Every structure is written in structure tokens, then in C-alpha cells.
Structure 1
Amino acid sequence: MKPETLFLKLAIVLMGIPVLALCIFLVPEIGDLAAKLLPEFHYIKYLVSIVYDASAIPFYFALYHAFKLLRYIDKNIAFSQISVIALRTIKHCAIIITSLHVLVLPLFFLFADKDDAPGVVIVGLIVPFASLVIAVFAAVLQKLLKNAIDIKSENDLTI
């Protein structure tokens, strides 16, 4: 196993642990806070919990495909159609995460309005923005890899 990909695989595993801890410990607290801030919406606690926990599913799915992509690199099959599919899946997962977190963004606006803390809105924009950056990066890599595979196949045909 190559040390570079081993380090990246370890980083992928370590990225999953804090998100799991956040889903277990922090998401219920955020739901309770939302219920306290907006008592007129009795269902907001469950909505917040569902959205945040649901966004963990595509996150772990994307981590799995990133791990698979690193395995393809180890096997020297990185320039193949399966790598393009893995990048496309990562892109779609990042778009889903962005969409789910944008749904909860009005909650950050309400919290900032009630608590008079405009910095909370910036905190609420971190995850959607980071996911959007990952989606664009995966799209660019997908396109570059697809072009490289096409050039490779053309060169194989001309020889």
C-alpha cells in the first residue's frame, strides 16, 4: 500500500468520526435550542434533527466513494470509468448536503435575529459553502478525468 493513499484513507476514516459524534451529541442539542427559540413551531426540533442527520447519510456515502477512489489509485486503475462514476457520486452527495443545509439556513437567520448575533449566519453558511466547493471540485476532477480517459482511448486506437 502506498504511504500517500494510506494517509488519505486514514484521513477519510478520521473525518467520519467527528461527524458521527456531532450527529449523536450536538444535533439533539441544536434541535432543543431551535424548539426553545421558536416555541410556536412545535415540530422544529424534529425537523432540525431529521435534516442534520439526513445530511450525514450522503456524507458517509461520499466518504465511502472517496475511499474506493483511493483503492483504485492503489490498484493503478484510477484512469477508468469507475473513477469517473465515483467522482460523480461524490459530486451528487455534496450537492445533496448543500441543499439540506440550505433548508435549515432560515433557522440561523431567526436565531441571529432573536439573539442579535449576526455572526451566527456566517457559521450557518460554512457547511453549505464547503459542500458546494467540494461539489465543484469533484465536477472539475470528473471532467478532467473523463477527458484524460478519452485522450487515452484515442491514443490506444491510433497505435
Structure 2
Amino acid sequence: MKFKTGFLKGALFFIGILILVLSVFWLPTVSKELATSNPDYAHLRLPLLLGLYITLIPFYIALYQAFRLLHFIEKQYAFSAASLYSLCVIKNCAVAIVVLYIAGMSYLAFSNALHPGIAVMGAIILFACISIALLSMLLHELLRSGLNLKTENELTI
């Protein structure tokens, strides 16, 4: 079990570092290049960067909660209130990212600046976040049922 959770913790750490490096170094450079090549949309550079950086907040909160959940699984505390809380926070963060992306893509669509490539990337991110929210909601319900059964069994003994 330690190898599996350790591998997943490493994957989460790698994803977190990769997203951090991309958002600090790659994203500002690309946005500057796009603003100079498309001067009609240069005024959207900073609001879009700000919106993307705001979505990093729930992303890293969810990443931390996933790391914490793996720690609980590793320590044999999977059926605990803390695990339920972590799943609930992950679900809420995924929903927050969905709301932020829908707001940003709607703003771009109403500004006639929603490029098809950006729309596809946004749709992929939306699909992933909706899937994560639904999965965490399902796991939350299953874990709550398991926790209730565990509590009943402890009371009968």
C-alpha cells in the first residue's frame, strides 16, 4: 500500500510543480507574445492572466487535499471524518474551477475573442473538473455510508 500511495503522492507533487512552473514562466511569456501578435485583443491579457491565476488557488487547495487523503489511506484512516472533509473540499474546488472557467469563457465569447483553440482547451478543463467533482461526490457518499456502517458495527460490539 505504501508504494501505491507513495507513487500517487509523487505524481501529485510532479503535477503541482509542473503547473507552478508553467504558470510562472510559460504563461506570461505566451500571453505577451499573443498580445503583441494580436493588438486588437491586447487589452484582455491581464484580465485573462488574473483569471487563470485565480483558478490556481482552488487547484492547489484540491491538490493538497488529495495529498492529505492519500496520507489518510496510507495510515489506514480512510474511513474517517477527515477523509470525508477532504473529498468535500476537492469537490468544492472542482466546482469553483468550473464556475471560474465558465465565467471566463463567457466573457471571451461576449467579447468576440474566444478562439476555437481556447474553447477546446477550456472544454477539456471543464470536462476534467466536472468529472473530478462527480467522482469526489460519489466517493464522498460511499465513504459516508461506509463510515456509518463502521460506526454501527462499533456500537454493536
Q: TM-score range by the shorter chain?
A: 0.7 to 0.9
1:144 equivalent in structure 2: 142
Q: How far 1:149 sits from its partner (Å)?
A: 0.2
Tell me which residue corresponds to 2:82.
Answer: 82
Q: 1:133 is matched with which residue: 127, 131, 134?
A: 131
Question: Deviation per CA, 1:60-117, whole angstroms, max 9, x where unpaired?
Answer: 11111111111111111110000000000011111111111112224376343xxxxx
Distance verdict in 2 for CA 1:76–1:95, change over 3 Å = same
Distance 2:62 2:17 in 1: 14
1:17 aligns with 2:20: no
SS across alignment from 1:110: coil
Matching of residues 29-108 of structure 1 within 5 Å: 29=29, 31-32=31-32, 33=34, 37=38, 39=40, 42=43, 44-106=44-106, 107=108
Gaps of 5+ in 2: none
Letter in 2 for 1:110: A
CA contact (8 A) 1:27 1:52 kept: no
Backbone CA RMSD of aligned residues:
2.2
How far does residue 37 in structure 1 lie from its aligned partner after superposition? Answer: 4.3
Gap runs ≥5 in structure 1: 113-117
TM-score by length of 1: 0.85
Matched residue count: 153
Q: Structure 1 residues 100 and 30, CA, compared in 2 at 3 Å: closer, same or farther?
A: farther
Task: Give distance in 2, aligned partners of 1:85 and 1:119.
Answer: 36
Q: Which residue of 2 aligns with 1:26?
A: 26
CA–CA separation in structure 2 for the residues paired with 1:92 and 1:146: 17
Measured after TM superposition, the shift of residue 120 of structure 1 is 4.4
Distance 2:83 2:30 in 1: 37
| TM-score (norm: length of structure 2) | 0.86
2:121 is aligned to 123
Query: Displacement of 1:45 after TM fit?
Result: 1.6
